[in-house]
Amino acid sequence: MKNLLKQYDICVGNATKTVFNNDNDIYQDGTLPLYRDKDGTLWAISGHTHAGHIGMFKGTCISDLAEVYPTKMNFETGSADNAFNGIKYPEGIKSRGSVWPMGLYICPNTHRFFCFFHNETGWNGKGTGYDAYGLCDKPNGDSDFRHIGLIVSDDEGKTWSFLRWVLTSEQVCFTKAYNPDGINVLGQESKRLSLGSGDFTLFVNERDGFMYLVYNILSFDFDEKRLSGCNVYLARTRIRTDGIMGDFVKFYDGRFSEPGNFGKETPIVENAWHARITYSENLGAYVMSSTAVNSSASDVSEFVPDYAEFRTGKTLTEWSEPITIPYKEGNRGYFGNHYVSLVSEDDKSSASELKGGVAALLCHNATDVIKYPLKFYKKRSKLFF
């Protein structure tokens, strides 16, 4: 499939520090969750629960977002003894660890806020964290296990309550080598482990009436103690406007057919990290921004080489080969960072579309989120966004 962006020259503008920065006690670790409500206000939730704080931000566009208040969780995180109101992972293992917000949706009729979050078993467990090998304070080679959870707020993000775990990979969240709670379930024993469903973005697609979790599953070589793969998957639920969030269905074998918890899944893109999807009206196609993956890397620090890739697709399940942006300051001569998000800079577009003005790429890695304007030129023609 042809990449529609190949016909354009992409110019990177000057970097601007955003409000999502460490000086403001915000350590955004994951792509930034954004959503524009029915009244036109752009909202963001940023930070995580074990470094700095999580804040709610609002404005008219990316450039004027400002924090309105810190959030409060009406539940504990951290130790498996009391985290997440004692609600276990779907496998039956006690939940533990942190909240990393990565997806935001606001119901147009009830103004209820929904936040999808990433969770890992090996970080901030306060003595109960574990990875593929056993208890840990920091996972060996990033080999802990992921889930996607859902929290809800009825006061515009000031306070949040835990609802449920919405996405779990087909394989369980522990290995034969270590069963953290000793439950009567068989752990993974293959050499190539699945580290669970997580590391995601949310795409709310008004064009087809569904919202999508665009998530990763990391593969891990148990014997060599290294990451061995990272693919992108899709799960969807119908957009509701009554204050309720439905269950998700995974894309598998050509159709959305498998349950969000324990269902099988087929990748839509291989070797891509933290993919984010938007729709370009001018292109008449979907655009995916993500970070490259080096699946043959021997060290976790080299697994994601921190440069951006861009794909296009007429559907959400079939994507072109990626293009990169040559850039003298970029890693290996390409532009990007560990987390990248292609977003609109205007004050009217939804968080899931690109139109008008100039697009921007947000780049960071639990460091200051930096905004780079991007201009797309087709020879001597005008911008297409």
pLDDT digits (tens, 9 = 90+) for 90-130: 999 999 999 999 999 999 999 999 999 999 999 999 999 99
Say how far apart CA 103 and CA 100 lie, in whole Å.
9
Euclidean distance between CA atoms 114 and 364, whole angstroms: 24
Closest CA to 217 of 258, 277, 272, 150: 272
Integer-rounded Cα radius of gyration of the chain: 20
Consecutive H or E run containing 27: none
Quickly state the pLDDT bin for 297 (edges 50, 70, 90): confident
pLDDT in tens, 135-173: 999 999 999 999 999 999 999 999 999 999 999 999 999
| CA–CA dist 350, 341 (Å, integer) | 14
Indicate the residue type of 213. Answer: L
**pLDDT over 70 for what percent of the chain?**
96
Share of the chain above pLDDT 90, in %: 90
Does the pLDDT value for residue 381 go beyond 90?
A: no
Predicted pLDDT of residue 299: 84
DSSP 30: S
Q: What pLDDT was estimated at residue 378?
A: 77
